[in-house]
Amino acid sequence: MSHPVTIKNALISVYYKDNLEPIIHELNRLGVKLYSTGGTESFIRGLGADVIAVEDLTSYPSILGGRVKTLHPKVFGGILARRNFAADEEQLSKYQIPEIDLVIVDLYPFEETVNSGAQPEDVIEKIDIGGISLIRAAAKNYKDVVIVASKDDYSELETLLKTQNGETTIDQRHRFAHKAFNITSHYDTAIFQYFNREEPLPVFKQSIQTSQVLRYGENPHQKGVFYGNLNAMFTKLHGKELSYNNLVDVDAAVALIDEFTDPTVAILKHTNACGVATRSFIKEAWIDALACDPVSAFGGVIIANDEINAETAAEISKIFYEVLIAPAYTDEAIQILQEKKNRIILIRQRVELPVKQFKTLLNGVIEQDKDLVIEGPEQMRTVTNRQPTQHELRDLFFANKIVKHTKSNTIVFAKNNQLIASGVGQTSRVDSLKQAVIKAESFGFDLNGAVMASDAFFPFPDCVELAANAGITAVLQPGGSIKDQDSIDMCNEKNISMVVTGVRHFKH
């Protein structure tokens, strides 16, 4: 049953008046009686359309500096009354309340005011009371009322007014109501988050209005959606749309590269670094990052923290990769990179990133603070007879940045600000170490004088023994095992140094 409703009376009260004019003209053409308040009322009069002030309908003025304007039975009664429901119709007649068939109301810009850094008293004044009540009332009574709660829907309403002469179907009204409740729930969440910044309640609420449907999820049989504004973070210069797996890798790449300030390139595959190097120039950083594991780099995500020039672009274009991210590119570099079809080329924009992480788990959600801690030489406490050299301390700092962003259990080898090899995601730490040794040897790296970082403590001395035998001269670990001393004793026996940081960096 379509249950058509013809719009006879409309209430219009909006903060944003962009593109409202055509709708006013259409309503005027259709002979719809308009009710309005304040600035919107003046706007409508300025267009030459007749409009009735809400104050004239309610016989009550706007009070408390505009805080109370539409909160009145003659307004809400006309919105909430059920048509063809005898008792409601009788009361409308008794109290001379007009049926309101269309409500066009938006909300004060609360989020924008918060983001502007406004004072608390100004933020509070942007908590909409009347507007959100009108939207909810009209959406609740969608069987009889059209609710338009955003300027984004003006075009759709204008089309309906033109093509259906003011008549709407129940499906159309239901769709508008659906959108309206999305707007009100998001608005309430934003207000709650503002109040929940200090002494937060143990409640999980998130609301993101922008989304992008992905080709599929982690696998082709899974659906995928990204919620957020990718356009704010990246400018795409070339290539197809980012996939679910691309986005997961890009997120890991951004987190890793942000640990570095000097020119650095990182290559990631399945969220783990397979190449990282810091050099004086970005081209050299790329060459040495690729040298770590050119096999795994195939089809990976590449990220740099410095401008990509033509020489670097020419080197990068020699391999197949999925995504390249940098803060800038020269014009010549862009021309070179765009010669390869389907390579995704992104310019990274600086936006504020969340400091919380969450994911669904079992029948709920878990949330945690992001791991934003990184321990430098100042936080490294030597526990062995041999002290690490300044050069080793720098390499340990470099390795620690990488191990923090690698799947546990993980071991990272580094030398001269270059990732030499890593063992990732193994069920035992010694297996990770063995994997790293094999990797380093397979690509011709000399581990003599290299350093080793571990994301968690060594439960047994076997790891440091194997590392020392492979040529490692300095080791970093958080410490905390009841058998720490066994590993320290092994380091002393092998005459290598060990530092502990007191901070574990598990990543699952």
CB of 101 closer than 8 Å to CB of 39? no
The catalytic position among 143, 151, 236, 270 is: 270
Backbone angles phi and psi of 422, in degrees to 5: -145, 150
452-481 residues labelled b (16+ CB within 10 A) or e (exposed)? bbbbbbbbebbbbbbbbebbbbbbbbbbee
β strands within 287-355, DSSP E: 300-304, 321-326, 344-348
CB of 237 closer than 8 Å to CB of 323? no
Helix (H), strand (E), coil (C) string for 88-129? HHHHHHHCCCCCCCEEEECCCCHHHHHHCCCCHHHHHHCCCC
CB of 498 closer than 8 Å to CB of 382? yes
The catalytic position among 140, 186, 238, 391 is: 140
* Active-site annotation holds for 236: no
CB of 377 closer than 8 Å to CB of 394? yes
Residues 6+ apart with CB under 8 A from 462: 430
Give the Cα-Cα-Cα angle 115, 120, 123 (nearest 5 degrees). 55
* Active-site annotation holds for 270: yes
Question: How distant, in Å, are the alpha carbons of 71, 110, 118 from that of 132?
Answer: 11, 12, 22
CB of 151 closer than 8 Å to CB of 106? yes
Secondary structure tally for the chain: helices H, strands E: 19, 23
In the chain, the amino acid numbered 127 is I
Backbone angles phi and psi of 164, in degrees to 5: -120, 10
- Rounded to whole angstroms, how far apart are CA atoms 392 and 37? 71
Give the Cα-Cα-Cα angle 221, 231, 188 (nearest 5 degrees). 85
Taking the CA atoms of the chain, what radius of gyration do you get in angstroms?
A: 31
In the chain, the amino acid numbered 173 is R
**Burial grade of 108 (CB within 10 A; 0-12, 13-18, 19 or more):** middle
Chain center to CA of 371: 16
Rama region for 299: left / alpha / beta (φ>0; ψ in -120 to 50; rest): left
- Rounded to whole angstroms, how far apart are CA atoms 86 and 93? 11
Supply the residues annotated as catalytic: 140, 270
